[in-house]
Amino acid sequence: MSSQSRLDRAYREARVIPFDDRSRLILFSDCHRGDNSFADDFANNRNIYYHALKHYYREGFTYLELGDGDELWENLSFASVFEAHKNVFLLLRQFYQEDRLHRIWGNHDMSYKDPKYVEAHLSRYFEPIEAQDRELFKGMRIEEGIILKHTQSGQELFLCHGHQADWWNYTFWRWSRFLVRVLWKPLQVWGIADPTSPARNYKELIRIERRIKNWSVARGLRLTIVGHTHRPRFPEPGEIPFFNDGSCVHPRSITGLEIENGQIALIKWQIATTEEGVLKVVRILLEGPQKLADYRLPEI
């Protein structure tokens, strides 16, 4: 199956979520939440991510995670990831209880493709203080794709992880998982990166982006938002409407896309130092805000 066919299938089977100009949405991906070991890339930005997430919760945003939220290649099970970042998952649970959390699976958490796996591992957790199980994400659906459809204009925003355009990490993800878990995780402690990752392979990154852009053009310039490559992308109106929210494992920062008031913006959260020498987490606007309507197809 070609990358175009995989993207077509993800679009056809995507869950449709309505939104309008009053909606407030935050899109993150590629958190790669791990077990807090030396190989856990998320651990470096955990406090930045948690602070940003608290901000979006207080401000009434809906959180959409576009794949690779949990690092299930390096780690045998979700349980170790949950224990390492329990405060993050309990905050995500608050989003979920208010119907403000939607998740997409990527190649590093492709196990979530199986609803039975999600039910078995994410539905509940053991609370040692109470010595009993408590609900976590009971009944959660984790999708391959999501379509955000504007209730007034009918404009569609197609969201997926983007590994559909990466044949190795989609078709042979189990083999990649084996290599990462057995070989590259131990080597990562010594600073040797996984060469199969498109985020660390510039030529492969460009090829993946080109395939997704070609798909967007072939399907009538469909507005598409992905992650996977970890490289933020924010096109100008008139260009191919291909967005990438970046990742949460950049050195000392995280990036994402905000949708608010019918506009989209690329943002970064990082730690900054004040004049008094105090460290604080700050939000920085990188691109936009740009009206989503500016990316609508021209009338024929």
How high is the pLDDT of residue 213? 96
Q: Is residue 92 part of a domain?
A: yes
Q: What CATH number corresponds to the domain at position 254?
A: 3.60.21.10
The reply to whether 116 falls in a domain is yes
pLDDT at 299: 47
C-beta of residue 46 within 8 angstroms of C-beta of residue 11: no
Q: Which domain holds residue 285?
A: 3-295
Instruction: Indicate whether 72 belongs to any domain.
Output: yes
Predicted pLDDT at 75 = 85
- Write down the pTM of the prediction: 0.90
pLDDT confidence of residue 172: 53
Nearest of 300, 147, 295 to residue 221 by alpha carbon:
295
CB 54 within 8 A of CB 14: no
The reply to whether 276 falls in a domain is yes
Distance CA 137, CA 143 (A): 14
Number of H helices, E strands in the chain: 9, 14
What is the total residue count of the chain?
Answer: 300
pLDDT of res. 174: 64
Residue 300 domain-assigned (yes or no): no
- Is 198 part of a structural domain of the chain? yes
**How far is residue 85's CA from residue 258's CA, in Å, rounded to a whole number?**
24
7: left (phi over 0), alpha (psi -120 to 50) or beta: alpha
pLDDT at res. 107: 93
Burial of residue 189 (CB within 10 Å: 0-12, 13-18, 19+) is: exposed
Helix (H, G, I), strand (E, B) or coil at 4: helix
Domain count, the chain: 1
- Kindly state whether residue 197 falls inside one of the protein's structural domains: yes
Average pLDDT per 10 consecutive residues for the chain, totaling 300 residues: 89 97 98 90 96 98 97 89 97 98 95 95 88 91 97 96 82 63 57 56 86 94 95 96 97 96 98 91 97 75
